Structure 1
Amino acid sequence: MAKIKFGTDGWRGIIAQDFTFENLTKVAIATAKFYRKHKKIKNGLVIGYDTRFLSKEFAEHVATVIANFGIKVLLSDGYCPTPAVSLAIPKFNCAGGVVVTASHNPYKYNGYKLKGDFGGPEEIESIEKVEKEANKVSKSEFEKLRKSFEQLKEKGLIELVDLKKIYIDDLKTKIDLSAIKNSGLKIIHDAMYGAGQGILTQLVPSAVVIHNEFNPSFGNVNPEPIAKNLGELMKLVPEKGFDIGLATDGDADRIGAVDEKGNFVDPQRVFAILLKYFYEDKGLRGDVVKTVSVGLMVDKLAKKYGLKVYELPVGFKHVATLMVTKDIMIGGEESGGIGVKTHIPERDGLFLGLTICEMMVKRGKKLSEIVDEIFSEIGPHFYKRIDLHTTEEHKQKLLGKLKRGLREIAGYKVNNVLTIDGFKFFFDDGWLLVRASGTEPLLRFYCEADDPAKVDKVLDWIVNLK
């Protein structure tokens, strides 16, 4: 049986192959064993789940296993965004939480995320302990799980909670929804068949939503809010006269944005405009955290504002740990997952999307104008990412070549190299990052430069490097 391994963002596996009820039982037992020593365990654990195939059943199974250890479980009464689980943990003063989700992965995957008592991704050391314990669990321990889901509900050890309502009520206190609604801003949201569906219209009733129904196959499109997956949204925004298009991933913790012209506003630009808004308009202060795949726009703005920047490996768990130990104003990833000190130390796609809408209304500007404003201050920046499914042999060969070092990339002299996660090569007015995915069997190539032609040239060169 394959070893249970927690990657960049939780344990993930192909349903019925790796992600089975048997393996899930092991991870749930390990979770119970770890958290039963927690000082807040009397208040229990929070469990939520997304819209994937069998997610509800998997979540109920996890709740049953954990409750068999005498641990109280607050289980979501329906699918909900990952940030709804994170938000509920400190609200109920719980020891931690679990989200059954594979986030943006293809439909055949499911996954298991651990959340800490502070309301964000669990600390790395704690995750490692759960992983180690899960791989030691024997089948004989399954026999101790005698009480059923219904029996545990009757005993009060499993309680169904409307996490979605708690989450919606919280967003109402953190976004100026009246200003958005009174402005007449035309919003369209691509829920990507994920856990964020049905929420935006409760906050802004005039919003239009697509892919807003239960479909565990996600329409055969990976529920990741990046340009190649948002063709319909990018077409509808200018065609139907929307001011902005928003997209959230499978568990709604990531944001994608489309401007009024139908152009995808990549997460690098989203991070930058949010940093500017929170600093200049909201008056927030503190340091900035970014993962290695985030580009130079954030650095340039932070330098302008006199803010310190921390650069960490990919994975929001690294960002969250810093957010709860230092005074961090904003922290995030290239993937559209960003956390802000006024919310929770967690990614939240809907919160971020509504914040962008609020920004547009308060500034009286179109999204394209807000992006252009950034460019006028720090210069133009263009970005692209390529995900390459490849063989293990080719992956190791390429990574080995990069480890030995490169003097130039596509004719551009390499000025510096960062190796905290993969290989990040800097050249004049740009950079290239190559790293293996922590959640899927593929290589990721990231590039940012001052010219889109330069970006394409560098990516074409690295993808074809022998």
Structure 2
Amino acid sequence: MKMYKERMNAWLNSQVISEESKEEIRSIKYETELEDRFYQDLEFGTAGLRGIVGAGTNRMNEYVIARASQGLANTIKNHGEEAVKRGIVIAHDVRFMSEEFTEIAARVFAANGIKTYLFDDIRPTPMLSYAVRYLKTVSGIVVTASHNPKQYNGYKVYWKEGSQILDDIANEILSEIKNLDFEDVITMDYDEAIEKGLIEILDHTIDQSYYKDTLAKGINDDLDKDICVVYTPLNGTGNKPVRHILRERGFTNINVVPEQENPDPTFATVGYPNPEDIKAFKYSVELAKKINADLIVATDPDCDRVAIMGKQKDGEYYAFNGNQTGALLLYYILNSLNQRNLISKNGAIVKSIVTGDLGKTIAESLSVKCYETLTGFKNICSLPNKWDISKESEFIFGYEESIGYVFGNHVRDKDGVISSMMIVEMASYYKKMGKNLVDVLYEIYEKYGYFKEHLMSIVLDGMEGKERILRMMKFFRESGFKEFAGLKVKEEIDYKNGYKDVGKSNVLIYHLEDGSWFAIRPSGTEPKIKLYIYAKDVAEDVAENKVGEIKEDVLSKLYSVK
């Protein structure tokens, strides 16, 4: 009998699984669907859990959430009585089952004697990071699937510094989860837990403190505060926090896309609620053209990432990618701080290894050191966590190409709220000087060179897709390629066992003889393999052509793997 059938039969025969969940499985007629639901337990890693909502061991549902929570509860208890007393704080987004999963997790922690703090409504992910630091809890959770399609949900775990867990804590939790059956989970009645003080609903004190600390990061006040901005939260959690911050910062002309203003777990107006995808800007561009907006800002559903479009001289809107936006923010922030002598001698920024080098070049031109980590803000923020203790460097800014940015030390994750504030401040600063953000981008290119890139993903769903992605990575590792697009390979870096000060990851980077480079890696949260291509030249068209030729060659090799 196939392995998946053993898991499926255990599910159907369990005394804990509801009849409704069992019936959902019995009603499925296709073996491939049943196999996908049961061929594995939904993987728990440093990104926590993320998957399609539904019945089965490879799905997001109340039983998988409860078992993960019991594993985390056991881990907290293993860290001693002080950890138990510090407790845990949980936030959630707008998605289907987010509120229910939050309550289930809270009931598990309460049953284990762990004080649990809950927000009274949806909150952006960065506010959870802030809450961990503010409340000094030992851990935190955000129930969210970020920018994934509507059928997904997720469970991201944070540790005491306010950043997402790294391998050490993730492995402790996973070890506990692997020793648990669904029947081993203990829960407490929700109302009883509140009555006993084990679950506490937070008031808005933390919100106000977060807003105060965010507003304090503003740099310039010589701004055109009537700059016309279109904002879309893409029916997620960003609407109230971003608008509040911009209003308090004094911006008077913020226009929200009405169809995408309020929470909607179906994401009916956008389908795939990822602002990296230009299609997510359809409604906001229509509004921007109608009101002649200078800038469009879009945050993803859990408001940790932000993408922008800027009006050009011809009235059309230019879509900035994450590398460009990160470079613009660094150029603005570092120059503004430098003019005020506010950069310390050990000031530092952090970027991921697959993020372009323009931001690094800008930072180093101002004597700011740039550190690199593996992808993900859990890794980016691990350095300022260390620097809090060692005082080796002073963290200024962190970012990665996938439209995630953080400025300052009050949040230890990417933050779409403060990023939105700084983007609008930056655009209004340059508008008062008679420039738009496209002008500033080309000013940067003229100063530092034309850094061009192409980032793409190949989506390969299900078990077959997962195995094909592994074969693609194996093919590149074993082929010993000497050149791409006629350019000799200068250096191949395989992060499988780590490299220099950077940890282990399934990432390959090829540096070519002319300074161009590309990286390939499987996504850690979605069924896709990602390709990042970078080139630089004094001429824009030459840099773009290099990117196109490398892309064509690499894709042909990837697609040759069946």
User: Shorter chain as normaliser: what TM range?
Assistant: over 0.9
Q: Equivalent of 2:443, from 373, 384, 398?
A: 373
SS of residue matched to 1:462: helix
Instruction: Give yes or no for contact 2:46–2:165 (8 Å, CA) kept in 1.
Output: no
Match of 1:457 in 2: 549
Instruction: Give yes or no for contact 1:82–1:253 (8 Å, CA) kept in 2.
Output: yes
Deviations 1:171-191 (A, max 9, x none): 3333369766x6201111121
Pair 1:30–1:177, CA change in 2 (3 A): farther
Higher relative contact order (CA 8 A, sep 6+): 1
Deviations 1:52-78 (A, max 9, x none): 111011111111111111111110111
Match of 1:160 in 2: 201
Pair 1:195–1:297, CA change in 2 (3 A): same
Q: Equivalent of 2:274, from 224, 229, 251?
A: 224
Match of 1:264 in 2: 319
Q: Does 1:140 align with 2:201?
A: no
1: CA distance, partners of 2:532 / 2:441: 20
Match of 1:3 in 2: 41
Instruction: Give yes or no for contact 1:291–1:332 (8 Å, CA) kept in 2.
Output: yes
Instruction: Give yes or no for contact 1:49–1:56 (8 Å, CA) kept in 2.
Output: yes
SS of residue matched to 2:162: coil
SS of residue matched to 2:397: strand
Residue correspondence of structure 1 range 65-214 to structure 2 within 5 A: 65-142=108-185, 144-145=186-187, 147-161=188-202, 162=204, 164-175=207-218, 183-205=225-247, 206-210=253-257, 211-214=260-263
Deviations 1:168-215 (A, max 9, x none): 3443333369766x6201111121122212222223343112212221
Q: Equivalent of 1:34, from 44, 69, 75?
A: 75
Match of 1:51 in 2: 94
1: CA distance, partners of 2:448 / 2:285: 26
SS of residue matched to 1:256: strand
2:294 partner amino acid: D
Q: Cα offset for 1:252?
A: 0.8
Larger mean Cα displacement after TM superposition, 425-434 or 33-42: 33-42
2: CA distance, partners of 1:177 / 1:25: 47
Pair 1:248–1:179, CA change in 2 (3 A): farther
Larger mean Cα displacement after TM superposition, 186-195 or 6-15: 6-15
Q: Does 1:409 align with 2:484?
A: yes
Q: Does 1:247 align with 2:298?
A: yes
Instruction: Give yes or no for contact 1:248–1:349 (8 Å, CA) kept in 2.
Output: yes
Q: Cα offset for 1:342?
A: 4.1
Q: Cα offset for 1:234?
A: 4.2
Match of 1:419 in 2: 494
Deviations 1:303-354 (A, max 9, x none): 3223333222212111111111122322222111122334322110121121
SS of residue matched to 1:464: helix
SS of residue matched to 1:183: coil
Number of residue-to-residue matches in the alignment? 463
1:237 partner amino acid: A
2:305 partner amino acid: R
Question: Cα RMSD over matched residues?
Answer: 2.2
Match of 1:295 in 2: 356
Q: Does 1:319 align with 2:370?
A: no
1:204 partner amino acid: L
The alignment's TM-score, normalised by the length of structure 1, stands at 0.93
1:207 partner amino acid: I
Q: Cα offset for 1:8?
A: 5.6
Instruction: Give yes or no for contact 1:81–1:164 (8 Å, CA) kept in 2.
Output: no
1: CA distance, partners of 2:220 / 2:96: 33
2:474 partner amino acid: G
Pair 1:340–1:174, CA change in 2 (3 A): closer
2: CA distance, partners of 1:376 / 1:159: 55
Deviations 1:392-443 (A, max 9, x none): 4542332122112322222222222222241111222422111111111111
Q: Cα offset for 1:247?
A: 1.2
Instruction: Give yes or no for contact 1:48–1:79 (8 Å, CA) kept in 2.
Output: yes
Q: Cα offset for 1:128?
A: 1.8
Pair 1:42–1:396, CA change in 2 (3 A): closer
Match of 1:387 in 2: 457
Q: Cα offset for 1:110?
A: 0.8
2: CA distance, partners of 1:356 / 1:45: 32
Pair 1:72–1:271, CA change in 2 (3 A): same
Pair 1:384–1:221, CA change in 2 (3 A): farther
Identity of aligned residues (%): 27
2:233 partner amino acid: A
Query: Which runs of 5 or more structure 2 residues have no equivalent in the other structure?
Result: 1-6, 8-39, 248-252, 388-392, 496-504, 537-542
1: CA distance, partners of 2:60 / 2:222: 44
1: CA distance, partners of 2:234 / 2:519: 28
Deviations 1:19-52 (A, max 9, x none): 1111111111111122233535423211000111
Match of 2:343 in 1: 284
Q: Cα offset for 1:216?
A: 0.9
Instruction: Give yes or no for contact 1:234–1:263 (8 Å, CA) kept in 2.
Output: no
1:362 partner amino acid: Y
Match of 2:401 in 1: 334
SS of residue matched to 2:453: strand
Residue correspondence of structure 1 range 12-31 to structure 2 within 5 A: 12-17=50-55, 18-31=59-72
Match of 1:435 in 2: 521
Query: Which runs of 5 or more structure 1 residues have no equivalent in the other structure?
Result: none
